[in-house]
Amino acid sequence: MLIFILLTCNHMVLQILFLIIAAAAITLFSLNVRKIIRNINLGRPEDRSDRPSERLAVMMKVAFGQSKMANRPIAFILHLFVYIGFVVINLEVLEIIIDGIFGTHRIFAEPLGSLYNVLIASFEVLAALVLLGVIVFFARRNITPIKRFSGTEMGKWPKSDANIILIVEVLLMGAFLTMNAADSKLQQLGASSYLSAGSFPVSNFLVPLLPDTESILIAIERSCWWFHIIGIFAFLNYLPYSKHLHILLAFPNTYYSNLEPKGELTNMTSVSNEVKAMLDPSFSPEPVPEGSRFGAKDISDLTWKSLLDAYTCTECGRCTSVCPANITGKLLSPRKIMMDTRDRMEEVGRNIDKYGKEHQDGKSLLDSYITREEIWACTTCNACTDACPINIDPLAVIVELRRFAVMEESQAPGSINSMFGNVENNGAPWKYAAVDRMNWAQEN
């Protein structure tokens, strides 16, 4: 019925309908983006504006260049197909939007001339490669599942989310190629409004499968055109609810990467100021903000960068697959740390929308989402951050939660408390006094 209505409407009505759909999609997406930005800004301020040229180089290498994906060659090649294909093919969306607004058809064909044929042919080849990559990814997740795609955190929704995106991409690429096949056949039949334009090396294989009736071909071409553009608008508004938000956030997230040496932990400003004041009585530190904590108990105690990390997580599991604690059967999963941080942030955001910013729900990131056993299983080896294809840093979250447990609650495992006592009494993590430190070197 909808297709019949679309086909019987005049161009003006279709243009108005297109504008309404586009405006609604963009408005809804903008509202969701504003909520995401609001949620990220719940975190503590942190200056990541230094060394802009170095940051730009990291973004170009890691996000645009996909450099860290290359550690797993098969996944890298398939992801490259999908990444490049999806980006380049969506350049055609510009033409579709202009055609939808002005009621034209393949408006770039005439000004681009023969270059247009090259572009359409390239789009089709890339669409075929996207289909190949997506189908293999679907099989890897569902037919021959890989271990890193499983885990306690990978429940019903995370698995469904991945499959939904893969199925949507198949449908969008299928609609694109079917639309081109119908368009090609209409050009061959000399249908009005279907000027001879474009080269179709992939969709031409579908042409023999299509009927010869012009009206049916127009219905197929127009149906796929509308499905393709509405599907893209729907996909755009699905992103804020999906792990595939990394399509957009990977670029700012890699730009604001930690540029310090790997494994170097941050100093706590409040503690550093106390030490400086002890060494230099004339030192005057800035006042500590009211309500601030040592470390982090909830998302508001983390930095905005850690919260951006949480939204950017792709749930690929590369971090967890190299985590020595997880490999040896410990409860810790770096991926779960980021997913829990995002889930808690979303919960706080919903509470703000419903009850206001001052609402307290009695929950916190530590204990309500992430357990003490998880944070103390971490060896701080930094393998998770090194493995992440978009420079997410789960270790930063873990360390802040630990700092809160130790410095605010004085709660730590017995072995760590023993180490603290040894450092305080002996100046070293071991139980031996300083004078006995070299006994091991003495000849028996």
Q: What is residue 301's predicted lDDT score, i.e. its pLDDT?
A: 92
The Cα–Cα gap between 3 and 175 comes to 14
Domain match, 240 and 296 both: no
Total length of the chain: 444
The CATH number for 411's domain is 1.10.1060
Residue 233, in any domain of the structure? yes
State the chain's mean pLDDT as an integer.
87
Domain match, 29 and 116 both: yes
Domain that holds residue 306: 269-279+290-428
Q: Extract the tokens encoding 150.
A: 């499983």
Per-residue pLDDT reduced to its tens digit, 4-55: 455 555 667 788 888 899 999 999 999 999 999 999 999 999 999 999 999 9
* pLDDT confidence tier of residue 289, bands split at 50, 70 and 90: low
The Cα–Cα gap between 353 and 362 comes to 17
Domain match, 353 and 405 both: yes
Domain match, 230 and 294 both: no
DSSP-derived letter for residue 294 is S
Q: Extract the tokens encoding 241.
A: 């609810």
Per-residue pLDDT reduced to its tens digit, 327-376: 999 999 999 999 999 999 999 999 999 998 888 888 999 999 999 999 99
Domain match, 229 and 273 both: no
Domain match, 85 and 215 both: yes
Beta-bridge partner residues of 366: 370
Residue 76, in any domain of the structure? yes
- Classify burial at 398, counting beta carbons within 10 Å of its beta carbon; exposed 0-12, middle 13-18, buried 19 or more: buried
Domain match, 394 and 332 both: yes
Secondary structure (3-state) at 303? strand
Per-residue pLDDT reduced to its tens digit, 119-134: 888 888 988 999 999 9
Residue 36, in any domain of the structure? yes
Residue 341, in any domain of the structure? yes
Question: What pTM was estimated for this model as a whole?
Answer: 0.87
Domain match, 234 and 360 both: no
The Cα–Cα gap between 383 and 319 comes to 7
Residues 127 and 177: beta-carbon distance below 8 Å: yes
Segment among 85-99, 130-144, 318-332 with least mean pLDDT: 85-99
The number of domains in the chain is 2
Per-residue pLDDT reduced to its tens digit, 139-181: 888 888 788 888 888 888 888 898 899 999 999 999 999 999 9
Residue 260, in any domain of the structure? no
The Cα–Cα gap between 252 and 413 comes to 37
Helix locations, 103-190, DSSP H: 109-112, 114-142, 156-189
Q: Extract the tokens encoding 79.
A: 């992801």
Residues 345 and 39: beta-carbon distance below 8 Å: yes
Domain match, 235 and 177 both: yes
Domain match, 306 and 410 both: yes
Domain match, 92 and 161 both: yes
Radius of gyration of the chain (CA): 28
Domain match, 372 and 274 both: yes
Residue 441, in any domain of the structure? no
Which residue bears the tokens 């939904």? 164
Residue 284 has pLDDT above 80, yes or no: no
